[in-house]
A and B are shown apart, each in its own frame.
Chain A
């Protein structure tokens, strides 16, 4: 298994441009997540999905959109990029937990480093 893969690895955007960060997992996990990590900081949840066709906002959703048309893919769309969106973006997936636990171990992708100038 490749696990969780993300593309691109690095991207420079100009203010006002748009882009899509791709995320794919081959572990058949139901749950997928997008986080951003600013330098020296922790992980902030942007959006998450509990299955195909179902998405919900996290802590910092403004300026982003997501879709989940398949179990494998969970792309993150940035519209009108701003310098405040300069960050490292991690996609993660998680299987259903034991005994009905909904969220368990998170498997992270390698990250996309985004610079908005």
Chain B
């Protein structure tokens, strides 16, 4: 089955810096890649997603890039703010499966 590796497990940055979280996947049939943000004590919520027919997608300070050849996708957060502090999960899905495969999460800490 699909395997999703997420790195790093913890990322500490200063406010205003950029943060990059990377995920690799094993199944070349995967074609949908969402990113979820989970604030402390809250539920995971979708922040951005990308499909396999697109190489990059942006939404204000966040962006996701996809490299299908290398089978990896990354979340980029620019001008980080303390409210970006949370756990971020990547996931991968393919057309024939009902079940997404989640990465293990990255704890992002933004220091004021």
Residues of A within 8 A of B (CB): 31, 33, 41-43, 45, 48, 50, 58, 90, 94, 97, 99-111
* Cβ–Cβ < 8 Å partners of B102 in chain A: 42-43
**Are B44 and A102 closer than 8 Å at their CB atoms?**
no
Q: B89 contacts the other chain (Cβ, under 8 Å)?
A: yes
Q: A103-B100, A104-B34, A109-B43 are in contact. List 9 more A-B contacts (CB 8 A).
A: A33-B99, A42-B104, A58-B99, A90-B44, A102-B95, A105-B34, A106-B44, A108-B44, A111-B43
Q: Could you jot down 21 A-B contacts, CB within 8 Å? A: A33-B99, A42-B89, A42-B104, A45-B99, A48-B98, A50-B98, A58-B99, A90-B43, A94-B98, A97-B32, A97-B95, A99-B95, A101-B31, A102-B97, A103-B97, A104-B32, A104-B34, A105-B46, A106-B44, A108-B43, A110-B43
Instruction: Tell me the smallest distance from the CB of B9 to a CB of chain A, in Å.
Output: 10
* Cβ–Cβ < 8 Å partners of A43 in chain B: 44, 89, 102
Q: Which of B86-105 contact A (CB under 8 A)?
A: 89, 91, 93, 95-100, 102-105
Q: B78 contacts the other chain (Cβ, under 8 Å)?
A: no
Instruction: Tell me the smallest distance from the CB of A56 to a CB of chain B, in Å.
Output: 8
* Cβ–Cβ < 8 Å partners of A33 in chain B: 99
Q: Which of B25-81 contact A (CB under 8 A)?
A: 31-32, 34, 36, 42-46, 49
Leading 6 A-B pairs by shortest Cβ distance: A108-B43, A42-B104, A103-B98, A103-B93, A102-B98, A42-B105
* Cβ–Cβ < 8 Å partners of B97 in chain A: 102-103
Contact of B100 among A41, A106, A110 (CB under 8 A): A106
Residue on B nearest A6 in the bound complex, by CB: B43
Residue on B nearest A43 in the bound complex, by CB: B102
Query: Considering the chains assembled together, what is the distance between the CA atoms of A101 and B51 in angstroms?
Result: 11
* Cβ–Cβ < 8 Å partners of A107 in chain B: 46
Query: Considering the chains assembled together, what is the distance between the CA atoms of A107 and B75 in angstroms?
Result: 20
Contact of A108 among B45, B49, B104 (CB under 8 A): B45
Residue on A nearest B36 in the bound complex, by CB: A106
* Cβ–Cβ < 8 Å partners of B96 in chain A: 102
